[in-house]
Structure 1
Amino acid sequence: MNNDILCKLGISLNAMQEATADAVLHTGKDVVVMSPTGSGKTYAYLLPLIERLDASSDDLQAVVLVPGRELALQSANVLKDMGSGLRSMPLYGGRPTMEEHRVLRDVKPQIVFATPGRLNDHLDKSNINAETIKWLVIDEFDKCLEFGFQDEMMSILCKLPNIERRILLSATESETIPKFVSMGRTVQLDYRTDEENIPDRIRLYTVTSPERDKLEVLRKLLLSLGDKSSIVFLNYRDSVERTASYLKEYGFTVSWFHGGLEQREREAALYRFSNGSAPILVSTDLASRGLDIPDVDNIIHYHFPETEDSYVHRVGRTARWDKEGRTFFLLGPEEHLPEYVSKEHEEYHFTESSHKPALPRMATLYIGKGKKDKISKMDIVGFLCKKGGLKSSEIGKIDVKERFTYVAILRTKVKEVISLTKGEKIKGIRTILEEVK
């Protein structure tokens, strides 16, 4: 294993990651990994995989299938942060295939992270050379099946004639591994630690609401949690928007997230939550998988998870790696904890508080230029410091997209920065700079 990368990431491998790496590097067999959400499965397959790929070749050598674009984007970012020298690219719907094809030709990735439908599209159009692909990874393969991607995945397998190794990963057990995956000799690694897959580092609370409409109890709970990061899960898109609007009216800084939003809206919502600009994310179960946000303190079930698997994945957003977390069930009249929740719990009591919602430390700026304009993170830092009057310590997470950039800065500096940079150029180009709300 590349110790330089491990040192750069500041991590040491857990038992699941070590076993996965050993199976990938030393057995020559296909590998199936089942391990709880938050245990580091992305690193588990990427760390050994990058040792098996040739960074000096322009050939596409590995395909990672994922159930949604958020996981595609985040997995590509994980690989980028590892600094392995390999080029990668996320492929997903919601943008023109032709545009992705142009980027594919420019980037020449050795690995792609793709949703099944979009990968099929590129294969059908011969935008990708299927002959050079030797590795197939299916991340969250149970979710891929649940989403109905069987036909798309079967089609992909038929179009990839030279697959030599397969790696399948999941937090929950699929009833069967699909026959079309055509796995040969396999190493099966099961690191699900207990019946519920809920780590002991997570404390479970119930919060009783005297009314069926639990918004007032949610408001009081969030007040008591202060500036800690919290995800509020609901089962319906309209419920997400209603709840988010209610909380905003009471002064909370909120992002909301569901499948009905446009791609850019979804990316902005996740970015504001992950960089500390919005401490509360109100979401459907779409946010229960594929989000690598390391420091979520609280999971709140406004609506109960519809299945035990949904519960496992929701709760897996907190207490990632070795951190601790809390999960709260809001119980309306005549509601009781679902039968699958066997973990010990306690009633959460909070005193009536008159203080206002905690304001976030950071805010997110949108800058209307990105990679297409040859803009880098250092260009953004230089621009904000020189033209916007910021210190580097007042700038947080920067995410340079193809055509625009998100950057987190101190919330108290937003108006000043927007005023100072009005009409200014970044690398000689005029641009738009505005707060993302």
Structure 2
Amino acid sequence: MIENALQRLKITALNDMQQAAVKSAKAGHDVLLIAPTGSGKTLGFLLPVLANLKHDVKGVQALILVPSRELALQIEQVFKQMGTPFKINCCYGGHAVRIEKNNLAHPPAILIGTPGRIAYHLEHHNFDESFIETLVLDEFDKSLEFGFEADMSYIIGSLLSLKQRILTSATKMEIIPAFVKLNNAVDVDFSKNLQSKPDLKLKKVTALAADKLEVLFKLLSKIGNKNTLVFCNHRETVDRISDLLFENGLEHDVFHGGMEQFDREKALLKFRNGSHRILVTTDLAARGLDIPEVEHIVHYQLPYNEDAYIHRNGRTARMHAKGTAYAILTEEEHYKYLPDNIEEESLLDKYKLPKSSEWITLYLSHGKKDKINKIDIVGLFLQKGGLSKDDLGLIEVKDTTSYIAVKREKVDKLLKILNGEKIKGKKLKLEIAS
């Protein structure tokens, strides 16, 4: 089954960290997995979880606790791509409790969730925890940082049938809290693995404090139509940058903790499928999110500590790819964690506004709960919409909605052709995702 899963993921061989994690878990040990962002930890714990699942058990067998809903959805997506016969579900704040209770009435083999929401379902007896033998605490250090200690302690204390714990972290922790109850855990520590060192080029742009916004706009124009994350320390700064980019016609999206969950998921989705090439964000996007192929990182504001800086840079130069990180600095700013003599990026020329992306995201107000899947959408768009396969990009089907990336020049005609059509017997409600 594992071989088939790897084939579906188009992975020919596991990396050293994944092999070590799978080997340790296979021996039945508790595992403490420490590896940098982007090194493939998700597969490092999903494969052992999959190996532990039994076909004849009709209940939740593995629980994966994560600090954010975005990370939960990412893990769910990876597992579904593995094409196993086992069901998986997510539970997290901002998601309808009613939908989650309905899902848990037909329990998945794997349950992923944020500690607060899982604790709620446990308290209300919405699933039977007595079959759970495998527990994964993913990005555990981040969960502690977010204040989930009490919820995690309650959950772990309720799991009386546990046989194996797998704890993952991007950084080495000095003390593992006693409530985790790790038992002779094997350390799989790749935190300083030289092979994981990214091919990352550092550059700086020096600016007067009053000119930083203008300098950022110029830098983004020079970078052009490449996937770029712009990091800030505060939500207010994200919104201020967004206003400037909007006024100057530079397409982008924003992502921070002050946004509604629906808008956050939509922003990430449009960045993933290429509809927007620029995402302005806080450190919320620095870890645990499914944001592939980010070529450039821009630190509009440098973080206060080195760990946060490392995690931000970990969004690029992943898995043998190359990347560039820019720091926009005033003459007065000095950070001990920055190396000396960083190459200066010149912004002397005039740069054209980057062209709009070739993709636009369409929003369909139907999803899994309407028995709609990707195959239904592809069939409709190709057969009745007249598109070719190359005109369709990433398709993501959620519980009650779906998002489809379509070539920009095809969108207007497609919306006219499909106006009044039906999908699975329901009138099609299709529009451009704003």
Q: What range describes the TM-score normalised by the shorter chain of this pair? A: over 0.9
Partner Cα separation in structure 1 for residue 341 and residue 92 of structure 2: 40
Partner Cα separation in structure 2 for residue 244 and residue 194 of structure 1: 37
Q: What's 1:229 paired with?
A: 227
Partner Cα separation in structure 1 for residue 287 and residue 105 of structure 2: 30
Partner Cα separation in structure 2 for residue 213 and residue 105 of structure 1: 56
> What aligned pairs does 1:170-319 form with structure 2 within 5 A after superposition?
170-193=169-192, 199-319=197-317
Deviates further, 155-164 or 61-70: 155-164
Partner Cα separation in structure 1 for residue 62 and residue 175 of structure 2: 24
Q: 1:248 to 1:135 in 2, by over 3 A?
A: same
Show CA shifts across 1:221-241 (max 9, x none): 111111110000111112111
Question: Which aligned segments of 4 or more residues in structure 1 are displaced greater than 4 angstroms?
Answer: none
Q: Is the 8 A contact 1:368 1:404 kept in 2?
A: yes
Show CA shifts across 1:245-276 (max 9, x none): 21122221111111111111111100000000
Alpha-carbon shift at residue 213 of structure 1 (Å): 4.2
Partner Cα separation in structure 2 for residue 430 and residue 99 of structure 1: 23
TM-score by length of 2: 0.96
Q: What's 1:397 paired with?
A: 394
User: What runs of 5+ residues in structure 1 fail to find an aligned partner?
Assistant: none
Structure 1 letter corresponding to 2:111: V
Q: What's 1:87 paired with?
A: 87
Alpha-carbon shift at residue 419 of structure 1 (Å): 2.1
User: What runs of 5+ residues in structure 2 fail to find an aligned partner?
Assistant: none
Structure 1 letter corresponding to 2:311: H
Between the two proteins, what is the percent identity of the paired residues?
A: 44
Q: 1:344 to 1:190 in 2, by over 3 A?
A: farther
Partner Cα separation in structure 1 for residue 234 and residue 187 of structure 2: 36
Structure 2 letter corresponding to 1:71: L
Q: What's 2:370 paired with?
A: 373
Structure 2 letter corresponding to 1:40: G
Alpha-carbon shift at residue 21 of structure 1 (Å): 0.5
Partner Cα separation in structure 1 for residue 162 and residue 198 of structure 2: 39
Q: Is the 8 A contact 1:64 1:111 kept in 2?
A: yes
The answer to whether residue 354 in structure 2 is matched with residue 357 in structure 1 is yes
Q: Is the 8 A contact 1:285 1:314 kept in 2?
A: yes
Structure 1 letter corresponding to 2:58: D
Partner Cα separation in structure 1 for residue 422 and residue 177 of structure 2: 54
Partner Cα separation in structure 2 for residue 267 and residue 302 of structure 1: 23
Partner Cα separation in structure 2 for residue 377 and residue 319 of structure 1: 30
Structure 2 letter corresponding to 1:13: L
Alpha-carbon shift at residue 194 of structure 1 (Å): 6.5
Structure 1 letter corresponding to 2:415: I
TM-score by length of 1: 0.95
Query: What secondary structure, in the 3-state scheme, does the structure 1 residue paired with 2:210 have?
Result: coil
Q: Is the 8 A contact 2:143 2:149 kept in 1?
A: yes
Partner Cα separation in structure 1 for residue 23 and residue 289 of structure 2: 26
Q: 1:80 to 1:352 in 2, by over 3 A?
A: same
Q: What's 2:25 paired with?
A: 24
Q: What's 1:54 paired with?
A: 54
Partner Cα separation in structure 2 for residue 244 and residue 423 of structure 1: 36
Alpha-carbon shift at residue 358 of structure 1 (Å): 2.5
